[in-house]
Amino acid sequence: MNAVVFKICLLIVYFLGLFIHFSLAGTCFSTMVRRNNGRCTELLYERISKEDCCSSTTSVSTAWSPEELDPNTLFFWRMFGGGVLCYPCKESCTNVQCEPDKTCMMRKGVPKCVCSPSCKENRKKPKGPLCGTDGRTYKNWCRIKKKSCKQKLHNLSVSYYGVCQSSCDKIRCSDNKTCLLDQNLTPHCIHCSKKKCPLGLKHRQQVCGSDGLTYKSACHLRDAACHAGKAIPIAYKGSCKENVTCHNIQCQDSQQCLIDLEAGGRPRCITCSCRPKYLHGPVCGTNNNTYQTWCHMMQDACSKGYIIDTKHSGKCVSILGSLRNFIS
């Protein structure tokens, strides 16, 4: 009899524990997207207590809601309610870990990770303006770090020291880097690969460069371009041939064959799709038209069927406009 009573008591305790667990369970969110009205949309964990939710992370943006939501209800709140009513886990900066170059600070009574990069410059590095990898001149290293943090431009760094240039003539690269002109004829300081290209390659690995020269492989072409200081696009796979046309070569599925009028009508395989937002402009094309970015120029070339290269970075200057400036 006592054994039966004991088992019943255990069952009662078990179900009571389940009841307490689910009554305290809620939903954990990775971030509160609308801090003012306390709404969340990005789900992190389901059926979890506030204690477990908030102890699972040191992020300042983690939030918890006492509501248990099925996928349909969550979708409804996302679409029509601006998110689920939720509460931030962190009320202060205690035990908060921010991303690199960010520090937790109280803003209007709420902890927030704000950009505050360390701007201690290396004494061995030259002081003064420097050119970023985005082609823009910055007053100092700290300005680049702040912009990289605020706009989440993780690839933004120093290209070379000094004001941004339009050629490699006045650029002195550091750390054994080489100055190379990209497709916009914009200079960059880069490391040429120290790895030697493989020997004994088969003929099928040969590529024809836009300069009309045959290279043993794409690796050999990149190496030649880096040491020459100017990008050399691959015209097509295989050795360069005389009197070749777009009918004689095979481009990749994502490419289109265009005619290079300035190279005697030689064909070149071009990738027409690109992302303009990752390329700053404007650029002046060899057809004397100004394009918003290099990407827009490539798209125009693909629509016309012939190559349009970069004449120079910046807007095109007409002869008439130059004469007017000279006269004035």
For 248-286, how does the pLDDT look when each residue is reduced to its tens digit (9 = 90+)? 898 988 899 999 998 889 999 998 887 655 566 788 999
34: its two tokens: 């609308």
Higher-scoring residue by pLDDT: 124, 239: 239
Average pLDDT of the residues in 276-302: 85
CATH of 22-99, one of 1.10.10.10, 3.90.290.10, 3.40.50.300, 3.40.50.11900: 3.90.290.10
The pLDDT confidence band at residue 133, using thresholds 50, 70 and 90, is: confident
Please report, for the chain, the start and end positions of each structural domain, with discontinuous segments joined by +. 22-99, 130-190, 195-250, 272-321
Q: Quote the pTM value.
A: 0.59
Q: Are 39 and 31 in contact (CB under 8 A)?
A: no
- DSSP per residue over 77-112, as a string? HHHHSSSEE-EES-SSSTT--PPTTEEEEEETTEEE
CATH architecture of the region 195-250: 2-Layer Sandwich (3.30)
pLDDT at residue 279, as a whole number: 63
CATH number 3.30.60.30 given to 130-190:
yes
**Strand partners for 88:** 63
Confidence of residue 213 (pLDDT cuts 50, 70, 90): very high
**Per-residue exposure over 149-185, b if at least 16 CB sit within 10 Å of its own CB, e if not:** beeeeeebebbbbeebeeebeebebeeebebbbbbbb
Rg of the Cα atoms in the chain: 30
Percent of the residues in the chain that have a pLDDT greater than 90, as a whole number: 27
- In this prediction, residue 266 carries a pLDDT of 93
Question: What average pLDDT does this structure show over 69-75?
Answer: 79
Average pLDDT on 10-19 reads 42
Residues 148-182 pLDDT 10s:
988 888 888 888 999 998 888 889 888 888 999 88
Which CATH number fits the domain 272-321, given the four candidates 3.30.465.10, 3.30.70.20, 3.40.640.10, 3.30.60.30?
A: 3.30.60.30
Condensed to tens digits (0 to 9), the pLDDT of residues 231-253 reads: 899 999 999 999 899 998 989 88
Q: Is the pLDDT of residue 204 over 80?
A: no
d(CA 40, CA 129) in angstroms, rounded, equals 42
Domains 22-99 and 130-190 in one fold: no
